[in-house]
Structure 1
Amino acid sequence: MNTAEQFIKDRLESRANDGALRKLSSSHLPIDFCSNDYLGFARSIALKEQIDQELKENDLHQNGSGGSRLLSGNTAYTEETEFFIAAFHQAQTGLIFNSGYDANVGLLSCLAQRGDTIITDELVHASLVDGARLTHAGRYTFRHNDLNDLETKLKNAKGNSYVVTESVYSMDGDIAPLTEINALCEQYNANFIVDEAHAIGIFGQQGKGLVQQLGLQDRVFARIVTFGKALGCHGAAVLGSPALRQYLINFARSFIYTTAAPVHTIASVKCAYQMLTATDFTTLIRKKIKHYADLLNDTGHDHATPTPSAIQTLLFPGNAAAKLAAALLQDKGFDVRAILSPTVKSGQERLRICLHTYNTDEEIRQLASEISQLKNNE
């Protein structure tokens, strides 16, 4: 066995010994409290029919794009959709990337230069961490949602500085104090970048996001809006100024050196945005969130801290404890998954519960009842 193969086997064995070995699974239990399909768009027959009609009406029949957007893969339809998305979010322009990961890595890796500073919340998406790592800028983290710690880092920032947060955090479901962070950025002449992946469809009028709900759309430097969560599609867009869009076209490697998304993907995103305006989905999902929170408060579960987002967590420290808790709920038909270290810090292992418009009140009540039993079984 060569040394590379031995290295691989040793790393996998170590991960398995820690109870943290990841495996793919194609099985799905009957009652979904796991997926990011918060509004049910990914499973929506109405959306599929709307997409089919959009493709037919616009004679969009290609199976693939045929190349990168700087070569043969761009279309007028894609650019029109970008500006449609930007207008929806009250932004000047937008640029579509093939995934949220591509958007985050592409944006951060090309922006900050040697002598600049990137300051990220310690709990931001891995893609934002990876984007920052690809720069030669000074990199700092601040304690989660800690304004005092952020200000300390800002006082020491050099060059062009960028503060990066999520609006709704993917593992805890809590929200960032965006207004206060933005005020600090303005005070210290820093550029504020907000990842809205888990806020789109949930917060703001017609699900436009937390930035717009707070009226910050003209004050932040850039936003990343993701299509693979509440919109039920795939891809993402960076929203910002015309100069930022042109800069990304020229310098964001994850945009330049990849085959463009097929036009079917672009049409899907456009139709999903149109669907957001057709029904008051934010009210529907908020009713589910409140129902869950009320029931969890009644159980008095020590591990539960209900959030205002569609993401709810139950802490079960230790990979074994989290996997056992998930297995007990799965045995009852609930698709609830454990989030293990190293995805989260050791001691912060948890169940991550996602609420959806299609979860019935009775399903949520049953889940809360089973969660109460988890507490009693400890």
Structure 2
Amino acid sequence: MTQPKISNKQNQSSSRLVAGNDSSFRILEEKLAKHKSQERSLIFPTGYMANLGVISSLVGKNDLVLSDKLNHASLIEACKLCNAKLSIFKHNNMSDLIHKIKTKARRKFIITEGIFSMDGDFSNLNAVSEISEKNNAIIILDDAHGDFVVGDDGKGTANYFGVSKKIDVYISSLSKGLGSFGGYVASKKNIIELCVNKSKSFIYTSALPRLLIDDAIKRFESNREKNRKKLWKNVKKFSTGLKKIGFNINSNSHIFPIIVGKEKAVMEFGEYLFKNGIFAQPIRYPTVSRNNARIRISITARLTNEHITKSLSVLESAKRKFHLI
């Protein structure tokens, strides 16, 4: 029976394992596998669903999961689904990780983000990979905020730190650095096959529309390096400007957290920015800890010099108005 031709404007209306597969998926998955120097990749509808599906498929009873305290909510939920022993290590604290990885278990998994979404700081992947190697642990890296942004040709944080070969499983997003939609995992062939057969968030959901897959392919093949260079030029300009107006932001990425503190104060701060032409959402508990509310600014390649100059001017006046140190 011949599979009907699907227009790129149509949704397949089915799981990929039923009737929702398409040649475009294979093309994109081959590109993503090559992008991460892995044997295979698998596309999920979102990065959140990729984390849920992959981790719950790979990790099981009698395993030990070591998860960074500031990992994304999707990673936290995934860890809860896998019925393993969960150990949370202090954020980027390698001494705590070394202490907790000594726990006996069938298998050990270290789960971390590449760039942490709320603070904009990098995981210490050099140390993580060394600890993993010494303890025969498996590294699962969520690189949603580093993929297509850092490293050679945007290959991500592991490439940036020179430890690509030491990462066992890459999970990432197509909707951030690439600017499209969806999520994916890249790893060895046997791991991808396991995900195909066990990941409920892959099996029991409709496939992404071909329109979105084709869009991701188009963006992947476009001049991404030009946009990436523009992004980092903007990041440098914004970071330098923040320091000049008195903000002490400890971020080396494109994500800048401006810590305000109280929940009420951050809402007023955000409203002031919005009224003055700056769209930057307040982030409050439970996304961050209590009294650690912030404005999270994410720099993009589309910002002009005028946008950045105006943003810095508004932030400087907001800093005075709200008495931020």
Which consecutive unaligned segments of at least 5 residues does structure 1 have? 1-57
SS in 2 for 1:67: coil
Match of 1:339 among 283, 288, 307: 283
Question: What are the Cα deviations for residues 80-99 of structure 1, in whole angstroms up to 9, with x where unaligned?
Answer: 32012111221111000000
Match of 2:311 among 358, 367, 372: 367
Instruction: Give 1:1-378 correspondences, 5 Å limit.
Output: 60-61=7-8, 63-277=10-224, 279-301=225-247, 304-377=248-321, 378=323
1:17 is matched with none
Which consecutive unaligned segments of at least 5 residues does structure 2 have? none
Deviation of 1:215 (Å): 2.8
1 CA distance for matches of 2:23 and 2:311?
47
Which deviates more, 82-91 or 128-137? 82-91
Does the 8 Å CA contact 2:10/2:209 hold for their aligned counterparts?
A: yes
Question: What are the Cα deviations for residues 180-219 of structure 1, in whole angstroms up to 9, with x where unaligned?
Answer: 1011001101000111101122201221211122232222
SS in 2 for 1:350: strand
SS in 2 for 1:148: helix
Which deviates more, 140-149 or 81-90? 81-90
SS in 1 for 2:8: coil
SS in 1 for 2:77: helix
2 CA distance for matches of 1:106 and 1:189?
23
Question: What are the Cα deviations for residues 287-322 of structure 1, in whole angstroms up to 9, with x where unaligned?
Answer: 111111111111123xx4142211101001111011
Does the 8 Å CA contact 1:91/1:218 hold for their aligned counterparts?
A: no
2 CA distance for matches of 1:185 and 1:276?
36
Deviation of 1:60 (Å): 4.2
Does the 8 Å CA contact 1:104/1:128 hold for their aligned counterparts?
A: yes
SS in 2 for 1:352: strand
Deviation of 1:222 (Å): 0.4
Question: What are the Cα deviations for residues 318-377 of structure 1, in whole angstroms up to 9, with x where unaligned?
Answer: 110111111111111111110011111101100001111121222212222222222222
Does the 8 Å CA contact 2:245/2:316 hold for their aligned counterparts?
A: yes
SS in 1 for 2:91: coil
2 CA distance for matches of 1:95 and 1:145?
29
Distance change in 2, residues 1:79/1:157 (3 Å):
farther
2 CA distance for matches of 1:211 and 1:273?
19
Does the 8 Å CA contact 1:296/1:306 hold for their aligned counterparts?
A: no
Between the two structures, name the one with larger relative contact order (CA 8 Å, sep ≥ 6).
1
Does the 8 Å CA contact 1:339/1:349 hold for their aligned counterparts?
A: yes
SS in 2 for 1:280: helix
Distance change in 2, residues 1:76/1:294 (3 Å):
same
Question: What are the Cα deviations for residues 132-154 of structure 1, in whole angstroms up to 9, with x where unaligned?
Answer: 10111000111111000111111
Give the letter for the 1:206 counterpart. Answer: D
Give the letter for the 1:167 counterpart. Answer: G
SS in 1 for 2:290: coil
2 CA distance for matches of 1:218 and 1:80?
23
| Matched-pair identity in % | 28
Does the 8 Å CA contact 1:207/1:276 hold for their aligned counterparts?
A: no
Alpha-carbon RMSD:
1.5
2 CA distance for matches of 1:291 and 1:231?
22
1:53 is matched with none
SS in 1 for 2:295: strand
Q: Scaled by the length of structure 1, what TM-score is found?
A: 0.81
1 CA distance for matches of 2:221 and 2:8?
21
Does the 8 Å CA contact 1:201/1:281 hold for their aligned counterparts?
A: no
Q: Scaled by the length of structure 2, what TM-score is found?
A: 0.94
Question: What are the Cα deviations for residues 199-254 of structure 1, in whole angstroms up to 9, with x where unaligned?
Answer: 12220122121112223222211011211112111111101000001000111111
Does the 8 Å CA contact 1:67/1:258 hold for their aligned counterparts?
A: yes
